[in-house]
A = this chain, B = another copy of it.
Amino acid sequence: MPDKPPAARRGRPLDLDARRRCLELAAGALQERGYAGLTMNELARQAGVSKKSLYTWWPNKAAIVVEALVAMAEMPPLPDLGNTEAELRALFAIIRRTASTSELPLAVTALNDPASRTAVSRTYIERLVGARRELSRALVQRGVDRGDLPAGTDIDTLLDMWNGLAAYRLLRGVALPDHVVDQLIVMALNGNVPLLP
């Protein structure tokens, strides 16, 4: 008997539909009213779900928030445009869009909620930042492979710098103008990027 149905489950099955509904409602509330503006009571009520279930599915509020953010952060793979400059431009579009949502402040707030200490481990952050990171890294790697970027480019540092710049500007409430983006791309294509040691 190669593989029996996973565990011969008994009783009422998990309501995966309701679970997803919660994440969507949470995502909406987070963007509209922020971290503190999302309350578990209301989330349960609106999702037609019991608080018991919420706390069965996630250990605490911070965990729901992080998972909702992870879901929001999902993005389609960046297509190979055959042109490194065009691809970098597409990458910056995503960086700016991400920074313009309040995703980062929300993540910081969730991760500094004392409740999260117990259960929301670093793995969540890995998933949150990491989700996009892999795709972004692949894009930059293509530039390196094409020879448009230096062979030893420190891709992670480069991406952290670009994302960090956008995020920091967001914190300051200042926009990231086009000409800055243009310049960063030109600099990169000219080989002015951090290199691996």
Enumerate chain A interface residues (CB-CB to B < 8 A).
33-37, 102, 104-109, 111-115, 122, 125, 129, 154, 157, 160-161, 163-169, 171-173, 179-180, 183-184, 187, 192, 194-195, 197
A171 to B125, CA, bound (A): 8
When the two chains form their complex, are residues B168 and A163 in contact, meaning their CB atoms are under 8 A apart? yes
Would A195 and B183 count as touching, CB distance under 8 A?
A: yes
| Number of identical protomers | 4
Asked whether, in the complex, the Cβ of A104 is within 8 Å of the Cβ of B165, the reply is no
Known A-B contacts A192-B187, A197-B179; the reply to A172 vs B129 at CB < 8 A is: yes
Complex contacts, A157 vs chain B, CB 8 Å:
165, 180
Please list the 10 inter-chain residue pairs (A to B) with the smallest Cβ-Cβ separation, ordered nearest first: A164-B164, A164-B168, A192-B192, A161-B165, A108-B108, A164-B165, A179-B197, A105-B112, A160-B168, A105-B108
Q: Max chain B CB contacts within 10 Å: which of A35, A106, A164?
A: A164
Judge whether A166 and B164 touch: CB under 8 Å: yes
Question: Does B171 contact A36, Cβ atoms closer than 8 Å?
Answer: no
Q: Report the bound CA distance from A109 to B62 in whole Å.
A: 13
* B111 contacts A105, C-beta separation under 8 Å: yes
Residues on the B chain within 8 Å of A105, using CB: 108-109, 111-112
**What's the least CB distance linking A169 to chain B, in Å?**
6
> What is the bound-complex CA distance between A112 and B157, given in angstroms?
28
Q: A114-B33, A161-B165, A164-B166 are in contact. Are A104 and B171 (CB under 8 A)?
A: yes
Inter-chain CA distance A157–B35, complex, in Å, is 29
Excluding A108-B109, A154-B183, 4 further A-B contacts by CB distance (< 8 Å) are: A36-B112, A36-B115, A164-B164, A184-B194
Q: Quick one: which of B33, B111, B172, B194 contacts A187, CB cutoff 8 A?
A: B194
Residues of B within 8 A of A115 (CB): 36
Partner of A36, one of B34, B107, B113, B184: B113
